[in-house]
Structure 1
Amino acid sequence: MEAEVVEILLPKNKPNLSRRDSWNEANLELKSYGSGLKWVFLDYSSLWRAGLSWSVFFVLNIGVPLVSHFVFSCSDCDPSHQRPFDAITQLSLSLFAAISFLSISSFAQKYGLRRFLFLNRLSEETEKVQQGYTHQLHRSMKLLWAFVLPCFLVDSVYKIWWFSTGGDQIPYVYNIYLSKSIICILLMCSWLYRVSICFLFCVLFRLTCYLQLLRLDEFAKVFERESEVATILVDHLSIRRNLRVISHRFRLFILSTLILVTISQFASLLVTTEPRSNVNIATAGELALCSMTLVTGLFICLQSAAKITHKAQAVTCLAAKWHACATISSFDELDDVTPPAQIASAAAAVVDWDTDNEEGDGDDVLDNTNLVPIYANTISYQKRQALVTYFEHNRAGMTVYGFMLDRTWLHTIFAIQLSLTLWILNKTIGIS
């Protein structure tokens, strides 16, 4: 798998020195990326490795949590060692890991890692897009560890405390110290495996979206130089096709995750707000950690989808601004004929209206108040109007079964979940 990833990022033709150095640096990071996938036992390069992946999945995601829940329920223990919310915790995390694992397995067998990450056509992109995507590929593994390690360390501290202070209340076999040590290690491995699988697929989705963000930033530059309408249209159709492919691949995962997280959070809220619930950091700490894991994974997916939709739809605004600037410039030429180069220079000289030096959210390339260089004699008014009309009626973006994942959609989700939360609180503790 490592060799496969490295091979596709190596250009077929002989690169220049600086580009070769960047690729050599990328290859070292990509090897660690492939090793990271093998570390969580997601390797389908051979039959026995695929069997190992499924075996580890059943043991750590289903077997260990199931045995732990029934054997170590500890209903007769002291209040600080009881686990009243363990069923919701184990079930929620295992279902999230199962959705992620099944999605990764399906894509690995159907598309392969190259097509799944759109690396098979990366050599066709510009050097800036290649370098940006390679840099993000490096950053993705660091981001994965940044999410996984804190969750694992916190849960490890909790489990070590729980087993070390439980005494004879916790069931054991033969030797109390050996038995508790083995069970504690298995439970920590199970938690680490499930959290890694959950965040891995979310980070892969974010990485896939980032490539399209780079392509959109590069696509925006066609309005700053002499370009043919046909060329602009072909580039935009290619981006729309990739967004449609990503939407179809990930729509089931996003919808399933959204439903799972919603049900899990409301179930957690319902049981923790009951009058007789014993809620403290010892009994509900693991439930809170699981909830943060699920919500963070969902947020990564929704934020990436909404960002790429916002940027893709900003192309329409940019094209309309480009069309307006070119039209105004062409009418000005009726009174005083000015060479196109001078028009472009004059427009570029007065385009900087952002004098406050305020930084946006990364959409400054497509969504800004700057004018664009004018090449009025390059494209006719009819062609520009047709292109703008096409953009207006063919808005690109991430969709889930026809629903556009934009910021309005996210606001709707937030409003619905807030309403349900207040309703549950009203039923349990009387908040109105």
Structure 2
Amino acid sequence: MDADAEEQALLWKKSLTRSVSRADDELCSFRTCLRWMCVDQSDPWRTTLCWSVFLVLAFGVPILSHLILWCPACDPKHQRPYDLLVEVSLTSISTLSFLSLSSFVRKYGLRRFLFLDKLCDESEKVRQQYSHQLNSSFRLLSCFVLPCFVVEIGYKAWWYVYGTAKFPFIWNAYVSDTISCILELSSWVYRTSIFFLVCVLFQLICHLQILRLQDFTKVFQAESDVETILREHLRVRKQLRVISHRYRAFIISSLIVVTISQFASLLATTRSTAHINLFKAGDVALCSVVLLTGLLICLRSAVKITHKAQAIVSHAAKWHICMTCDSFETLDCETPTRVSANQRVSPMSSSSATEPDSDDEAADEDDFDEDLIVPALASAASFQKRQALVTYFEHNRAGISVFGLMLDRSSLHTVFGIELSLVLWILGKTVGIS
């Protein structure tokens, strides 16, 4: 079985050396989806196309649509007073996501970025589950994008059909409105998809580490070697540090961008001169849902994997106490056996048994003490190793960190408290809540 496992690991490692996508490549469908999203930068031609589409849909279309369709003298029911806020928010978060994704793929490559090069050291079950999650990652992406896109289509269709404003058009007003609406929708879905893609990939990578942690906890059930357990934990902890180092800039930057966007929206919609209804502020509400959903995906994934990694301490403590109890039970069972054996193999006359200074009795007592010292010392050494391992787990908690701050439930509560304090402060300045 060990030879078969090593052979499968070698075959898997050999398959990871492929650099060109082929029909039997596990990244073939993944690269195809990236190509359709125009974010594939595997060669110079696709890189040029990728950056061109990004500049057009992330900057060109939003700027032109805001300058051309901004009409303060139009029908008040069909004005878009918060269009600039929405466009700046979506463009900022999509730019951050696009630059982060481009940096990841260019610096590490797609396989290293997705940690496929580390799967050769994992079990077959972990490989299969991660490959399944990798292939279904774009279905998860569509679950976040499609509902918001349907709402955006309804809002844009309403605005273009029932808007009473007359905007500049080319050749035909209906054709111009249709082209303008399609371009705006394409820009919106592109920027939203880029942001959700980076968030979903972070969730996918965190899910791989959760699978590894679940597989690692089985070591306490079948393995009693402290050195092996420590080596496995160091390997997992190293991967978590790598993920934290790669994504810490994106997480903190996303948190700053989303916070500024939400506070600007709150300040604009709660001021005394603002007239709010569903049609005017609908795009702001949808933009807020998109930004907050993506940020929560990242924070939830980070907190979940940190919670799983820190739960190893309880597994190690439980394993330590069980091994200790088993050691004591073994000694209790062996001690009477040794005593009765020594008593049987040391025949003594009744006269020698009554003499406390007999040489034979002294020799028997020395032999009996030596038999007990060896297993006692071995048990003490094992206990100290296990205790050192538990102490190491307690003082070296693994997880996702951002510049030294561990992303766990306590830090998430702290962030929520700070955000709530700022919200109440803004509401106190606008609507008078104190």
Q: TM-score range by the shorter chain?
A: 0.7 to 0.9
CA 1:222–1:378: 2 relative to 1, 3 Å: farther
Is 1:264 matched with 2:261? yes
User: Equivalent residue for 1:97?
Assistant: 94
CA 1:205–1:335: 2 relative to 1, 3 Å: same
**Residue 218 of structure 2: SS of its match in structure 1?**
helix
Q: How big is the shift at 1:214?
A: 0.5
Is 1:274 matched with 2:276? no
2:54 is matched with which residue: 22, 33, 57?
57
1:241 is matched with which residue: 226, 230, 238?
238
8 Å CA contact retained: 2:305, 2:400 = yes
User: Equivalent residue for 1:85?
Assistant: 82
Q: How does 1:335-414 map to 2 (within 5 A)?
A: 335-337=332-334, 380-414=382-416
1:204 is matched with which residue: 201, 205, 213?
201
Give the Cα separation in 2 of the matches to 1:286 and 1:415. 27
Q: Which sections of structure 2, spanning at least 5 residues, go unmatched?
A: 1-7, 13-22, 336-377
8 Å CA contact retained: 1:226, 1:378 = no
- Residue identity in the other structure for 2:102: S
2:71 is matched with which residue: 49, 70, 74?
74
For normalisation by structure 2, the TM-score amounts to 0.83
Give the Cα separation in 2 of the matches to 1:116 and 1:283. 41
Give the Cα separation in 2 of the matches to 1:28 and 1:150. 31
Give the Cα separation in 2 of the matches to 1:396 and 1:248. 13
**Residue 136 of structure 2: SS of its match in structure 1?**
helix
2:224 is matched with which residue: 227, 232, 235?
227
CA 1:12–1:384: 2 relative to 1, 3 Å: closer
Q: Judge which range, 76-85 or 107-116, deviates more.
A: 76-85
Runs of 4+ in 1 over 4 A off after TM superposition: 26-30, 376-379
Give the Cα separation in 1 of the matches to 2:231 and 2:213. 13
Q: Figure out how many residues of one structure are paired with residues of the other and give that number.
A: 376
8 Å CA contact retained: 2:38, 2:50 = yes
2:281 is matched with which residue: 281, 284, 291?
284
Is 1:317 matched with 2:314? yes
**Residue 117 of structure 2: SS of its match in structure 1?**
coil
Q: Judge which range, 26-35 or 389-398, deviates more.
A: 26-35
Q: How big is the shift at 1:12?
A: 5.0
- Residue identity in the other structure for 1:78: D
8 Å CA contact retained: 1:229, 1:379 = no
User: Equivalent residue for 1:23?
Assistant: none
Identity of paired residues, percent?
A: 58
For normalisation by structure 1, the TM-score amounts to 0.83
Q: How big is the shift at 1:56?
A: 0.5
Give the Cα separation in 1 of the matches to 2:127 and 2:382. 33
Q: How does 1:102-141 map to 2 (within 5 A)?
A: 102-141=99-138
Q: How big is the shift at 1:49?
A: 0.7
Q: How big is the shift at 1:216?
A: 0.4
Q: How big is the shift at 1:136?
A: 1.5
CA 1:192–1:13: 2 relative to 1, 3 Å: same
Q: How big is the shift at 1:168?
A: 4.5
Q: How big is the shift at 1:164?
A: 1.6
